[in-house]
Amino acid sequence: MQHNPTFFRKIFITPFLDFIHDSKAVGIILLACTAISLFLANTSFAAAYFSAINIEIPSLPVDAIHLPHTLLHWINDGLMAIFFFLAGMEIKREVIKGELSSFSQAILPVVAAIGGMVVPAIIFFFINKGTAFTNGWGIPMATDIAFSLGIAALLGSRVSLGLKIFLTALAIIDDLGAILAIAIFYSASIHWLYLGISAIIMVLLFLLMRFKIFNIVTLLLAILLWYCFYNSGIHATIAGVIVALFIPIDKLAKLEHALHTPVNFIIIPIFALANTAILVPGDIAGAISTTLCVGIVAGLVIGKPLGIFTACFITVKCKWGTLPANTSWRHIIGAGLLAGIGFTMSIFISTLAFKNAATIDIAKISALLGSFLCILFGIIWLRFFCKPLTA
């Protein structure tokens, strides 16, 4: 039987390519991966699934070389460094020639992001003050860029181009804040020798950038920097952001384009599959009634929109900035709800904030619940309470 290449492409290849280039695709895949992971973790497949995630990865036969030792560690410390590398390049591009390149452009999303990080952290802290959960204050700070923009895309004209740009810039700055929080507050004790070597590597990367050199040496230094950060006590994923800052300007677009698809459709789904393998407790009512869950959900659902709206209101009333084009105050509330979709970053910080597996599971369930409520409320608010706007 003879195969028709045109027919095969029309039936399989073209729909697949159309899907991965759709802004809604990442959100759909993340939801699917989460559902699969939760199913496997709470059925007869659980033992095999957890064993696969925590399988020991053989290290090099040298005691002095310390590397991640399980599949989960390689995902969270290794693959996520590539995710942060892409995020770092997006931050650099926006600062140099994008939405954050001037004071007038940057001020509103910057203060909005700060408000959207500080208020959720304060709400969480006061709900959990004096408990064993206070270290989780960073969990409701985070915004998931892919998910929030994916939901915004679903709403069509309800979200104007100006509001999408505002939400994108806010989420990027929010990611930078989460990265700084991880580096400063969620890292282990510092090993200064490795940190000193890291500083030397950063100087070398700066010199390569200064002379517009980008080759295999850059890659080797990037890997070495990741290794030094991994052993320094500062979370290894920070290396991804730092390397991104030393990428020559003329290489950013090409690298972002090359990494966009593998990060969004391989790395983030793998992260979701591995980190949402949550064993739902028998007493689910008891778990979601803990101050940990209440703090995370309240931080995401109430703290995010409240912090973002308040920061924007003060900034505009003081005439330091203006609302995005074709955007009302109701739209800012809607953007605040979409920014409350923490998902990837909230789950990631949950794994760093606590050591106890049961506590981590409750934190992850809470982050999923809070993110789901923000998706639901955000869609309802923007769909029924905000007029359609043209770009």
The per-residue pLDDT for range 250-282, each reduced to its tens digit, is 899 999 999 988 988 899 889 888 888 888 877
* CA 273-117-346 angle, 5° bins: 10
Domains along the chain? Answer: 25-55+67-187+235-384 (1.20.1530.10)
Q: Phi and psi of 342, rounded to 5°?
A: -80, -50
pLDDT at 149 over 80: no
The tokens for 111 are 């203060």
List pLDDT tens digits, range 337-374.
999 998 888 988 998 899 898 899 999 999 999 999 99
Percent of the chain having pLDDT more than 70? Answer: 90
Percent of the chain having pLDDT more than 90? Answer: 42
Q: Which of 97, 22, 79 is nearest to 252 (CA)?
A: 97
List pLDDT tens digits, range 219-245.
999 999 999 999 988 878 889 989 999
List pLDDT tens digits, range 60-92.
554 456 788 888 889 988 998 998 898 888 878
Return the pLDDT at 360: 92
